[in-house]
Amino acid sequence: MRKFLVVLVLLVIGTMFLFAGPIILRAADDHAEGYPTVEGLKVMARVIEVMTNGKYKVEIYPSAQLGSEKETVEQTILGAIDINRVSISPIVAFYEPMGVFSMPYLFRDQEHMWKVLEGSIGEELLKGLEEVGLVGLCYYDAGARSFYTVKKPVLKPEDLKGMKIRVQKNPVMINLMKVLGASPVPMAFEEVYTALQTGVIDGAENNPPSYYETRHFEVAKYYSLDGHTRIPEVVVVSKVLWDQLTPEEKIIFKTAAIASVEYEKLLWNQWEEKAMKAVQEGGAQIFYPDVTLFQKAVQPLYDQYPQYKELIEKIQAVK
C-alpha cells in the first residue's frame, strides 16, 4: 500500500511538472529577423532558457509586432511586455537623463561610445531606468545617424532649411532639427517609408543598417554621412517581471544580456559594411559633407540643455 502511495505521489508530481510548462516571456524589437539587435536578443533568450533549465522561454516578436517603440516602452513599464530592445530615443520622454546620449557629436567614435557605455556613466544611467519601471540590462550598437532625403542631398546645414525631416519621438532630436533649421516630424519608424514615398516628409535620418533594412534608400536616395548622433540601443526588462525573479535569476538575466552584446557588436560591424554596399547597388548616392559645418551649427542645442553640461564634460573626458 505504502509503495503504491509513493508511486502515486511521484506520478502526480511528475505530471504537474509536465503540464506546468515554461513561463513564457515576450520580447519586443521593431527590426526584422536577421537584424543585429534581433539576433542579439536570440542569444540572450537562449542563455536564459538554458541557464534556468527551461523555467523561462523567451518568445521574440520582431518587426514591431507588439507596437511601435513608444507603445512598447509603455507596455514594458506596465508589465505587458517582459523584455524590450529599443533605441534610447523613445526612452528619453520617460527618463530625461538618458537624453544626454542623443546630443549631437557627443562621442568621438564607436570606441569612445563603448568606453562610456560600458564604464560607470553607462552603468549609472542604466540603473536610473528603475525609477521609471524599467531595468536596463545592456546597450547595443546602433552606429551613427545621418540624413537621407528624397529630392536633393544635404551637403551643408543650410540645405535643411524648410525640409520636413522625420525624427524619433525624442525631445532632444526634435530640438536638434529645429536648431538646424529643419521642420521636425516625430513619427513611428514603421511609417517612414510611406511618408517618404508620398511626400509627407522630405527626408529622415538613420544609420546604414536601418536605411538598408527598411528599404528607405529606394525612396530617399541621397544619403549624406554627417553622422550627427550615435544613439545607442538598450535592452530593458519590465520591473514588474524583475521583482518576481529570484536573486539567481536576476544574475542569469544580466549575464545573458551581457553575453549577447559582443555578438550584436560583431553583427553590427558586418551589417554596416553590407548595408553601405547594398544601398549603393540599389541606387543610393552617398555624400561626405564637411562635418565641421554641422558640428558648428548644432552648438546652440548644447545651450538648451544645461542639465547635461556636467555629464557631457565627464563623457568627453573619457579617453
Residue ranges that bind ligand BDP, judged by CB under 6 A: 30, 69, 86-87, 142, 168, 189, 206-207, 210, 233
**CB nearer to ligand BDP: pick between 159 and 233:** 233
Minimum Å gap between C-beta 211 and ligand BDP is: 9
Reported as type and span, the H/E element at residue 285 is strand 285-287
Place of cell 509627407: 200
Minimum Å gap between C-beta 209 and ligand BDP is: 7
Minimum Å gap between C-beta 268 and ligand BDP is: 10
**CB nearer to ligand BDP: pick between 77 and 231:** 231
Q: Return d(Cα 54, Cα 98) in angstroms, integer.
A: 34
Minimum Å gap between C-beta 67 and ligand BDP is: 11
**Burial environment of residue 72 by CB neighbours within 10 A (0 to 12, 13 to 18, 19 or more):** buried
* Amino acid, res. 72: T
**CB nearer to ligand BDP: pick between 187 and 286:** 187
Please state whether beta strands 285-287 and 222-229 pair in parallel, antiparallel, or not at all (unpaired).
Answer: parallel
Q: Which of 105, 273, 90 is nearest to 189 (CA)?
A: 90
Cβ neighbour number for residue 46 with a 10 Å cutoff: 14
Q: Return d(Cα 197, Cα 184) in angstroms, integer.
A: 17
> Following DSSP, what letter does each residue of 37-57 receive, concatenated?
HHHHHHHHHHHHHHHTTTSEE
Contact, 78 vs 157, CB < 8 A? no
**CB nearer to ligand BDP: pick between 26 and 31:** 31
Contact, 69 vs 86, CB < 8 A? yes
**CB nearer to ligand BDP: pick between 167 and 311:** 167
* Amino acid, res. 234: V
Joined together, the cell numbers standing for residue 204 give 529622415
Q: Return d(Cα 137, Cα 126) in angstroms, integer.
A: 7
Q: Return d(Cα 134, Cα 223) in angstroms, integer.
A: 35
**CB nearer to ligand BDP: pick between 49 and 233:** 233
Minimum Å gap between C-beta 30 and ligand BDP is: 5
Minimum Å gap between C-beta 117 and ligand BDP is: 15
Minimum Å gap between C-beta 60 and ligand BDP is: 14
**CB nearer to ligand BDP: pick between 51 and 117:** 117
Joined together, the cell numbers standing for residue 197 give 514615398
**CB nearer to ligand BDP: pick between 52 and 227:** 227
